[in-house]
Amino acid sequence: MPTPAVKICGISTHDALEAAVRARAAYAGFVFFAKSPRNVTPAQAAELGARAQGRIQRVGLFVDANDAAIAEAVTAAGLDVLQLHGKESPERAAQLRARFGLPVWKAMPIASIGDVARAHAYGGAADLMLFDAKTPTDALPGGMGLSFDWSLIAHWDGPIKWGLAGGLNAENVGQALALTGAPLVDTSSGVESAPGVKDVDKIAAFCAAARMA
Ligand SMILES: O=C(O)c1ccccc1N[C@@H]1O[C@H](COP(=O)(O)O)[C@@H](O)[C@H]1O
**ipTM of predicted assembly, 2 dp:** 0.97
pTM value surpassing 0.90: yes
Distances (CA, A) of 129 to 15, 29, 51, 54: 29, 15, 27, 24
Q: How far is the CA of 148 from the centre of ligand 1 (A)?
A: 14
**In the annotation, is 115 catalytic?**
no
pLDDT of residue 61: 98
Neighbours of 68 (CB within 10 A): 8
Distances (CA, A) of 126 to 72, 97, 175: 21, 7, 27
Where exactly are the structural domains of the chain? 5-212
Per residue in 70-115, pLDDT tens?
A: 999 999 999 999 999 999 999 999 999 999 999 999 999 999 999 9
**In the annotation, is 9 catalytic?**
yes
End-to-end CA distance of the chain: 9
7 CB near ligand 1 (under 6 Å): no
What is the sign of the dihedral through the CA atoms of 26, 206, 93 and 118? positive
H helix runs in the chain, sequence order: 14-22, 42-52, 67-77, 90-100, 113-118, 173-180, 200-212
The residue ranges of the chain whose pLDDT is under 50 are none
- The CATH number of domain 5-212, selected from 3.50.50.60, 3.30.420.40, 3.40.50.1370, 3.20.20.70: 3.20.20.70
Instruction: Let me know the angle formed at the C-alpha of 165 by 159 and 170, rounded to the nearest 5 degrees.
Output: 135
Q: How far is the CA of 157 from the centre of ligand 1 (A)?
A: 24
172 CB near ligand 1 (under 6 Å): no
Q: How far is the CA of 146 from the centre of ligand 1 (A)?
A: 9
pLDDT of residue 33: 97
Per residue in 1-12, pLDDT tens?
A: 789 999 999 999
